[in-house]
């Protein structure tokens, strides 16, 4: 099968070589498309690769019926409608590591340029001026650097700042005292960072909670003469408030690589002599451009080949060693979900997934998503996938529970799916048998040993002599071959089940005939 990929922003040629080497991928490079042009052409593509120029809006995602993946060659994804992508089952991947070094280095370059007024002095010299007294700077050594946001880039900046003998105080919602101590920095609240820092650099994502995080109130908390750096995202700093703070001499200077509006339309802020500015160059190195393109290209190839992405944005990302351990259970989890959907006679209101044994020690979120996919595809079709399965479950009012226990009941690992409707609950459990593959080992209270594939037939009946024979004879009359049969019972003469694997899908009239056989209570075909 051939997949079509559109590259709509300039990407490193070396970075997309891996895409071009895949025989089943066809790459189209069309940069500079308008919104309407992209809307017109997107329908035929299976994947879209962008940087920051292309705005992937909801209407574009809705039009892109074949779209499976969006790759953002960079860190931020604020130019992509993540909610729409998730709703439509499109996996969004980015490259969080590819430009980390480049962005951290640029931040330090901007910090030093700001402290020593290098751009202003250079500009003066280009005007044939020799004015050393006008460009006296400040040293970094011994000053306090406040780092707001200690993710990958913020942490790299903190390490580099320590090399310049700055005292680093950082704020991040997930920074603990223990982690700060290991890094040799101080952990503070946002207020403490604002109040103590001589220099402040921001490294948070842009989202509602961080938009204008550095605003007039924040400036009022800072030391007089503070210097501000933003190489993260335009909008984290309120530019009007920064402009006024500089005019009021509260802020001695600012170094800005990103802006609320790009390209800049209003230049009043960057025209201030106290401001050092670059046109969003944080990731603009040869190495970074190659790295981010390589990273997203590899992830897009993985997604189109049915594999797991390394850096999904709208899917939880797991360490490689954890993914390696849970990946063998992907097929089982989906099959158990599909099986459970067949068991339900009414709309499912609640799904409980139990992980037992070694699985209890791992992050099994992808398996839970995969199980939901198996359940929902039964009625919602193939457009349900790992990305949008929780979204659709929420829309359908289905409660999801995930529970773990070390008790395995004789199995190394056991995965149990319980679905609950108004009338009651059904359970199905499965495992991986060493060398034998996936197995369904329990249906409700009955122990079985069934390979979860092909055409299955679940028959509930009373445990009476001849019941199995009557079923076999009737199927033979309609030329239905039985591949395997498993029988489970509660006690002699009580309720029992048969699990049959048959060679083809059974017609409705055959099912009706089976239902009429004495001692048979229910016949349910299950297509896996």
Mind telling me the catalytic residues?
233, 262, 280
Q: What's CA 33's distance to the chain center, in Å?
A: 27
- Which letter, b or e, does each residue of 308-330 get, where b requires 16 or more Cβ atoms within 10 Å of its Cβ? bbbbbbbbebbeeeebebbeebb
Q: Is the peptide bond before 263 cis (omega within 30 degrees of 0)?
A: yes
Torsion of the alpha carbons at 504, 510, 515 and 519, rounded to the nearest 10: -80
* Tokens 């498993």 -> residue: 486
Please report, for residues 82, 349, 399, the alpha-carbon distance to residue 395 in angstroms, rounded to integers and kept in the order given: 17, 11, 10
Structure tokens at 96: 């969080």
SS3 content of the chain, % helix, strand, coil (to 5): 35, 25, 40
Ramachandran quadrant class, 387 (left: phi over 0; alpha: psi -120 to 50; beta: rest)? alpha
Query: Residue 216: enclosing H or E segment and its boundaries?
Result: helix 216-221
In angstroms, rounded to a whole number, what is the distance separating the alpha carbons of residues 270 and 278? 9
Q: How far is CA 99 from CA 11, 74, 75, 195, 345, in A?
A: 13, 7, 8, 30, 52
**Cα→Cα distances 203→74, 99, 100, 192, 245, Å:** 14, 13, 11, 17, 21
Render 22-37 in DSSP notation, one character per residue. -TTEEEEE--S--HHH
The contacts of residue 196 (CB under 8 Å, 6+ apart) are 144, 146, 169, 188, 223
Residues 287 and 283: their CA atoms lie apart, in Å, by 9
φ/ψ of residue 282, rounded to 5? -50, -40
Say if CB 124 and CB 134 are below 8 A apart: yes
Residue in 356, 389, 388, 359 with CA at minimum distance from that of residue 371: 389
CB 426 within 8 A of CB 349: no
- Spacing of C-alpha 352 from chain mean position: 23
CA 270 to each of CA 26, 257, 453: distance values in angstroms, whole numbers, following the listed order: 43, 10, 64
Query: Residue 158: CB partners within 8 Å, gap ≥ 6?
Result: 145, 147, 150, 168, 170, 183, 185
């Amino acid at each position: 099968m051939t997949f079509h990929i559109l590259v709509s922003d300039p990407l490193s040629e070396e970075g997309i070589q891996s895409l071009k080497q895949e025989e089943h991928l066809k790459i189209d490079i069309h940069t500079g498309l308008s919104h309407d042009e992209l809307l017109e052409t997107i329908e035929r593509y299976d994947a879209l690769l962008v940087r920051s120029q292309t705005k992937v809006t909801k209407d574009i995602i809705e039009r892109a019926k074949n779209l499976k993946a969006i790759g953002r060659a960079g860190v931020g994804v604020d130019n992509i409608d993540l909610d729409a992508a998730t709703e439509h089952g499109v996996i969004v991947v980015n490259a969080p590591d590819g430009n980390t070094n480049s962005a951290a280095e640029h931040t330090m370059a901007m910090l030093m340029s700001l402290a020593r007024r290098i751009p202003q002095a250079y500009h003066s010299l280009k005007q044939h001026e020799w004015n050393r007294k006008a460009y006296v700077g400040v040293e970094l050594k011994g000053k306090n650097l406040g780092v707001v946001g200690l993710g990958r880039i913020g942490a790299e900046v903190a390490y580099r700042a320590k090399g310049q003998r700055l005292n680093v105080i950082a704020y991040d919602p997930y920074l603990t005292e223990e982690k700060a101590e290991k890094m040799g920095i101080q952990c503070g609240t946002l207020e403490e960072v604002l109040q103590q820092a001589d220099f402040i650099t921001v490294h948070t994502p842009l989202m509602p909670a961080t938009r204008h995080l550095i605003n007039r109130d924040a400036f009022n908390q800072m030391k007089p003469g503070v210097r501000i750096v933003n190489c993260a995202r335009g909008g984290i700093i309120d530019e009007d408030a920064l402009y006024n703070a500089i005019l009021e001499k509260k802020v001695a200077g600012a170094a800005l690589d990103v802006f609320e509006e790009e390209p800049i339309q209003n230049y009043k802020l960057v025209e201030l002599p106290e401001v050092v500015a670059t046109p969003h160059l944080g990731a603009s190195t040869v190495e970074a451009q190659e790295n981010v393109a390589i990273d997203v290209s590899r992830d897009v190839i993985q997604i189109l080949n049915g594999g797991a992405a390394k850096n999904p944005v709208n899917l939880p990302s797991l360490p490689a060693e954890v993914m390696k351990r849970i990946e063998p259970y992907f097929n089982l989890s989906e099959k158990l979900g599909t099986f459970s959907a067949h068991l339900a006679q009414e709309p499912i209101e609640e799904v409980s997934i139990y992980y037992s044994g070694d699985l209890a020690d791992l992050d099994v979120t992808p398996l839970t998503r995969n199980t939901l996919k198996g359940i929902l595809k039964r009625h919602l079709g193939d457009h349900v996938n790992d990305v949008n399965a929780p979204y659709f479950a929420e829309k359908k009012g289905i409660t999801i529970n995930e529970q773990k226990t070390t008790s395995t009941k004789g199995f190394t690992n056991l995965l149990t799916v319980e679905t609950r409707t108004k009338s009651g609950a059904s359970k199905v459990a499965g495992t991986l048998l060493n060398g034998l593959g996936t197995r369904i080992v329990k249906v409700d209270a009955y122990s079985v040993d069934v390979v979860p594939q092909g055409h299955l037939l679940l028959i509930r009946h009373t445990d009476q002599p001849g019941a199995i024979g009557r079923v076999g004879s009737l199927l033979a009359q309609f030329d239905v071959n039985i591949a395997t049969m498993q029988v489970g019972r509660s006690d002699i003469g009580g309720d029992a089940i048969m699990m049959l694997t048959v060679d083809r899908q059974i017609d409705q009239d055959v099912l009706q005939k089976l239902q009429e056989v004495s001692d048979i209570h229910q016949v349910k075909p299950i297509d896996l």
